[in-house]
């Protein structure tokens, strides 16, 4: 992951990965296989890691005020790694050349969106399922955009505006009737 975060998929040669890992190229080749196998193993590792992070987050949320805590987590730069974002972006970009990784990446994104929609539905019981899914998709898009921009160091004010945009989108959902 460190090598791909720094050099991208194409720049992550077996030599570079072996150097970063501190192992010999033949040993690395034995465990990673060819480039296609390496990309597939990286994708599986990343998706599994992100699924565990999502599961941990949901289990960590408090019983009340879950959505506010979730939004704080999504937009807290200190929690997220630019390297993780770079690896995820590299995998998405590589999915044109490695079509076998498209489906698992897409499933992860849809599952994460569904998780957000479930949390929104609990917070906004008068909202329809479609409204919750639409807003979840918008929040997720803003979230992904924020972390795609991190290498540019856009600043705290910019991140705060993105959070505000996500909050305004969420505020469009109907609150519980009195």
Q: Which two tokens stand for residue 165?
A: 């945009």
Judged on CB neighbours under 10 Å (0-12, 13-18, 19+), 38 is buried
How far is it, in rounded angstroms, from Cα 11 to Cα 18?
13
Report pLDDT for 148: 86
How far is it, in rounded angstroms, from Cα 24 to Cα 175?
59
C-beta separation of 28 from 21 below 8 A: yes
The 10s digit of each residue's pLDDT in 129-150 is: 999 999 999 999 999 999 888 8
The 10s digit of each residue's pLDDT in 62-79 is: 999 999 999 999 988 777
Report pLDDT for 176: 73
DSSP secondary structure string for all residues of 110-154 = HHHHHHHHHHHHHH-TTS-HHHHHHHHHHHHHHHHHHHHHGGG--
Report pLDDT for 177: 65
Set out the domains of the chain in order of their start, with CATH numbers: 35-171 (1.10.357)
Query: Which regions in the chain score pLDDT beneath 50?
Result: none
């Amino acid at each position: 992951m460190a090598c791909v975060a720094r050099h991208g998929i194409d720049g992550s040669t077996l030599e570079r990965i072996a150097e970063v890992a501190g192992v010999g190229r033949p040993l690395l080749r034995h465990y990673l296989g060819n480039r296609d196998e390496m990309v597939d193993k990286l994708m599986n590792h990343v998706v599994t890691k992100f699924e565990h992070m999502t599961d941990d987050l949901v289990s960590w949320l408090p019983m009340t005020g879950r959505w506010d805590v979730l939004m704080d987590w999504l937009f807290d730069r200190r929690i997220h790694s630019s390297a993780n974002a770079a690896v995820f972006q590299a995998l998405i970009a590589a999915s044109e050349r490695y079509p076998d990784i498209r489906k698992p990446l897409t499933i992860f994104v849809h599952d994460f969106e569904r998780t957000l929609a479930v949390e929104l539905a609990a917070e906004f019981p008068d909202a329809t399922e479609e409204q919750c899914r639409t807003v979840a998709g918008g929040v997720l898009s803003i979230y992904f955009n924020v972390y795609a921009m991190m290498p540019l160091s856009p600043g705290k004010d910019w991140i705060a505006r993105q959070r505000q945009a996500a909050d305004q989108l969420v505020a469009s959902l109907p609150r519980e009737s009195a």
